[in-house]
Chain A
Amino acid sequence: MRTRSTMRRRIARLASALSAFALAFGVLAIAAPAQADVVNAEMPFKVSGNVQNEGNPVGGVTVTLTGAAGFTATVATDAEGKFVVGVPAKEADYTVTLDETTLPDGIAVIDNPATPFVEANVQTLTVGPGGRATMNFFIGQGERHTTSFIDQVVQRLISGLNFGLMLALASVGLSLIYGTTGISNFAHAELVTFGAVATFGLVGLMGPDLLWIAIPLALVLSAGLGWGLDAALWAPLRRRGMGLVQLMIVSIGLSLGIRYTYQFFIGGQTEQLPGSDAERFKLFGSVTLSITDIVSMGLSVILIVAFALWLSRTKIGKATRAISDNPSLAASSGIDVDGVVRIVWIIGSVLAGFSGILWAYFRPGIRWDMGGQILLLIFAATTLGGLGTAYGALVGSLIVGVLVEGSSLFIPSDLKYVGALVILIGILLFRPQGILGRKERVG
C-alpha cells in the first residue's frame, strides 16, 4: 500500500518535472529541426500523434493526455507536428486534448461530420494490448471549440432554470409541510426518490412504451405514500404533542430506513428511465437542448401554476395558508387542521415524487440515494425563500438552481453544490426569515 502510493507520488512528480521540461523543449522545437517531442520516455507504453493543417505540420501545439489514477502529461508538438507521450498502462483509455488556443489564428480542429456535437479537439484513445496508440489531429479553417462565453452562460442559465424548476416542485412541498406542522422533514429526499423508483418499477412491469401511464401511476403511489406516512406516523405523533426536535430526528430515522429499503430493492447501481438518451438539438451557437429538457420544464411550470392556483383560490388552499399563519387560530375558527395537514402531506408527496422523476432525467439516472443528493439544496432553496412560505420556496429554488449550474462557469464543477450550501448558511445568519418570510417566524 505504502510503497505503491509512494511510487505513484514519485511518478507524478517525475511526470510533472518532465512535462515542464518538455514544454520548454517544445517551445524550442518550433525553431529547431525535427525530432518528435517525447515526454515520459521511461514509461513502458506510448501514445504518439501528428497535428497537420491540410497536410502541413503544425508545431508548438500543446496536447494534454489524462488517464486513470490522476495520470496527466502535457506535450508540445515539434516542427514536424509530431508528439510522443509515454503512458503507464496499456489496455486503458486516455483522453487527448488539443489546446486550440495554441494553434495559429483562424484554424481549428476539423469536426467529424458524423458527430457534430463532439468537440473534435478532445478525443478518447484506447491503448490496446500492443501498448501503442496513435492520435492524429486534422486542422483546417473552422470554428473553434472555445465555446463563446455568452453561449456558456445561456446554456448554464437554461440548465439552471430546468434544475431550479425541478427543485421548486420538491421545495414547495417541504415548505408547506414545515409551515403547517413545523417538521423539518429530512425524509422529503426519500419522497423525491420514491417518484423515480416507482416509475422505474412500473416501467419494468409494463414495458417502456407505457411510460406515459407509468408516470401518473407513480404519482398516485406517491400520494398514497404521503397519506400513509401521515396516517401511520405523523398524525399519531402530532396527537402526542411531540417536540419539534424529536420530530426532526424521527424524520432522520425514517429517511435512513426508507433510503436503505430502496437500496435493498433496486441495488446500488444507477438505472435509466426510457427516453433518458433523447437526442440533443442545436438551439443557436453551441447551445443545445433535448426534448426531455423542454417537456420537463413545461410540465414543471404547469404543475407549479396549478399548485399556486390551488393555494390561492380553493377553500382548502386558503385553510392551508391559515394554518401556516396560526394553527390554533385556524383550529378555533372551525378549520379541520388534521384533515388539511393530511392533504398537505399528499400534495407535498406528489410534487416531490414528480420532481424525483424529473431529477432522474436531469442527473441522469435513478439511484437509491438520488433524493439525498439534493436534500440540502432543497433545504437551501426553502430557507432562502423563507421556511413555510410556498412562493418563497419557488423563488429560492430558481435562485439555487441557476446559482448551482452557473457557478460551474467559475469554480470546478465538483464544487458546484458548495456555493448553494454557503448561501444556505449565509441566509440563515443574516436573514433567517428568507426573502419572502416574515420576521416573527423565527423563534
Chain B
Amino acid sequence: MDFLGILSSSVSFILAPTTLAYALATLGLAVHFGFGGLLNMGMAGFMALGAYGYAIGVLTFGLPWYLAAFVGIGAAIVFALILGIPTLRLRGDYLAIVTIAAAEIVRLLLLSSAFGGVTGSADGLSGFNGPGGTITNPTEGAGGFDQSNPIPAGTYGFPPFLDNERIWYLRIVGAIILGLAIFIVWRLVNSPWGRVIKGIREDEDAVRSLGKNVFAYKMQALIIGGVLGALGGLMLAFSTNVNSSVYVTSLTFFLWTALLLGGAATVFGPLAGSIIFWVLQAFLGLLFPALAEVGLMPFSTIQAAQIKFIIVGFALVLLVVFRPQGLFGNKKELTFVK
C-alpha cells in the first residue's frame, strides 16, 4: 500500500480547482443560511445554471468565454428572482422544500432529451473551453478559456502540486475569484447591510418593525449567494465537462456538510470547511480501497470506496447535534433559530 502516495494526492486537493469551486458555492450557502437564515437546499441548481449557462453561451450562442461566463451568472440571478419573489415569504422548512424541488426541476430539464440539441441531454456538454467550439462554426473561433492562459506550456511546482500550465491557470483564476468573493462577503456582513441581514436571521419581525424592507434584503442575500453558487459552477465548467449527473441533490447536501463543518456564520469557515471536507473525502476515498486491497478491511474495493459517503452522512448528523456552530464558529452566533 502506497500510503505516502495517498497522502500526497489527498493533500493536492487543498489547491485543486474543484475544491475552489466547491468553496465558492459553500460561501454562497453561508450568505444564504449562515447570515441570511435562508434554508437554500437547491444550491446544486445555481451551480448547474452557472456551468450550463457558460457552456451553452459558448456552444450555442458562440460568445467569447468571458461573455459566456456572464450568461451563467445572469441565469443564476434570474433563477434567484424567480425562486425568491414567491417563496421568501414562506417559513424556513417550506423554503427548503421549494428550493430542493426547483433545483431538481433545473436538473431534469437539463437532463431531458427534449432539449438535447442545446444541453447535450445525458451526455452533457464538452469542448467549450477550447478554441471556438460553437455549433455554428466548430473550427474557427476567437479562442476559449484555455487560449486565454498566459502561462507557457510546461510543468510547474513541486509534488504534490506538480501540474501543467492549465491546472495552474485554473488555480490562479479560482483563487482570485474566491479571494475577491471572500473579501466582498467579509465587507458585506460587517456593513450596515450585514447587520440588517443577520437581524432578519434572528428575528424577522423585529427588523420589520424597525422599518426595514425585509423582503428586499432577503432577495439581495438570495441573489448574492446564488451568484457565488453560479461562480462555483463556472469554475467546475472551466476545469472539466459539464454533466447534469453532477448537480444532484447530494451535491447540495455535501456543500451543507462543508458549510456546517467550517461554521455557517463565518466568512472563512466555508473555505476551511470545503478544504477539510474535500481533502478528507479524497483521503478516505483512496485509503479505504487501498486498505481493502491489502486485506486490512474485509470488503471489496468497490464497497470500501462507499464508506466515505456513509461517514459523511453520519458526520453531518453528529455535527448538527453536537457542534452546530461548526469548527470555527462562535456559539453565541447561533445559526439555528428556533
Residues of A within 8 A of B (CB): 1-2, 5-6, 9-10, 69-70, 184, 233, 237, 242-246, 248-250, 252-261, 263-264, 267, 372, 376, 379-380, 383, 411-412, 414-415, 417-418, 421-422, 424-425, 428-429, 432, 442-443
**Inter-chain contact B321/A250, CB cutoff 8 Å:** yes
**Inter-chain contact A253/B97, CB cutoff 8 Å:** no
**Inter-chain contact B313/A379, CB cutoff 8 Å:** no
| Complex partner residue of B315 from A1, A237, A253, A415, CB under 8 angstroms | A253
Beta-carbon contacts of B283-317 to A below 8 Å, as 1s and 0s? 00000000000000001001100110111111111
Given A10-B138, A412-B112, A424-B97, the answer on whether A257 and B313 have CB atoms closer than 8 Å is yes
**Inter-chain contact A256/B307, CB cutoff 8 Å:** no
**Inter-chain contact A245/B130, CB cutoff 8 Å:** no
Interface segment among B22-30, B71-79, B87-95, B216-224: the answer is B87-95
CB distance from A419 to the nearest CB of B (A): 10
| Complex partner residue of A256 from B100, B102, B313, CB under 8 angstroms | B313
5 tightest A-B contacts by CB? A257-B313, A253-B316, A256-B313, A260-B309, A253-B317
| Interface residues of chain B: helix, strand, loop or mixed (majority) | helix
List 10 additional contacts besides A253-B257, A257-B313, A264-B306; criterion CB under 8 Å. A2-B130, A6-B127, A244-B92, A245-B39, A250-B321, A252-B256, A253-B314, A256-B250, A260-B312, A415-B108
CB distance from A280 to the nearest CB of B (A): 26
Contacts of B93 in A (CB 8 A): 184, 244-245, 248
**Inter-chain contact A415/B317, CB cutoff 8 Å:** no
Given A237-B321, A249-B260, A260-B310, the answer on whether A425 and B98 have CB atoms closer than 8 Å is yes
CB distance from A437 to the nearest CB of B (A): 12
Q: What's the Cα separation between A418 and B241 when bound, in Å?
A: 25
19 residue pairs bridging A and B, Cβ less than 8 Å apart: A9-B135, A70-B123, A245-B39, A246-B321, A248-B93, A253-B315, A253-B319, A258-B313, A261-B310, A263-B306, A264-B299, A376-B101, A414-B111, A415-B109, A417-B104, A422-B105, A429-B86, A429-B87, A442-B91
- Which residues from 105 to 156 on chain B have a C-beta closer than 8 Å to any C-beta of chain A? 105, 108-109, 111-114, 116, 121, 123, 126-127, 130, 133, 135, 138-139
Closest to B121 in A: A70
Closest to B308 in A: A260
CB distance from A335 to the nearest CB of B (A): 23
Closest to A252 in B: B253
Q: What's the Cα separation between A252 and B321 when bound, in Å?
A: 13
Query: B96 contacts the other chain (Cβ, under 8 Å)?
Result: yes
Contacts of B86 in A (CB 8 A): 425, 429
Query: B64 contacts the other chain (Cβ, under 8 Å)?
Result: no
Contacts of A422 in B (CB 8 A): 105
Interface size class of B (residues with CB under 8 A): 35 or more
**Inter-chain contact B105/A249, CB cutoff 8 Å:** no
Contacts of B210 in A (CB 8 A): none
Contacts of B241 in A (CB 8 A): 1
Closest to B132 in A: A6
Q: What's the Cα separation between A424 and B101 when bound, in Å?
A: 8
| Complex partner residue of A244 from B97, B102, B320, B338, CB under 8 angstroms | B338
CB distance from B96 to the nearest CB of A (A): 7
Q: What's the Cα separation between A216 and B147 when bound, in Å?
A: 63
CB distance from B254 to the nearest CB of A (A): 8
- Which residues from 239 to 274 on chain B have a C-beta closer than 8 Å to any C-beta of chain A? 241, 249-250, 253, 256-257, 260
Output the residue of B101, B306, B310 with the most chain A CB within 10 A.
Answer: B101
Query: B336 contacts the other chain (Cβ, under 8 Å)?
Result: yes
Query: B324 contacts the other chain (Cβ, under 8 Å)?
Result: yes
Given A248-B96, A249-B316, A256-B313, the answer on whether A432 and B303 have CB atoms closer than 8 Å is no
**Inter-chain contact A257/B127, CB cutoff 8 Å:** no
CB distance from B250 to the nearest CB of A (A): 7
| Complex partner residue of B138 from A6, A69, A248, A428, CB under 8 angstroms | A6
CB distance from B140 to the nearest CB of A (A): 12
Q: What's the Cα separation between A418 and B110 when bound, in Å?
A: 12
Closest to B146 in A: A2
Q: What's the Cα separation between A149 and B112 when bound, in Å?
A: 24
Contacts of B1 in A (CB 8 A): none
Query: B337 contacts the other chain (Cβ, under 8 Å)?
Result: yes
- Which residues from 33 to 62 on chain B have a C-beta closer than 8 Å to any C-beta of chain A? 39
Contacts of A411 in B (CB 8 A): 114
Closest to B108 in A: A418
Closest to B257 in A: A253
CB distance from B138 to the nearest CB of A (A): 5
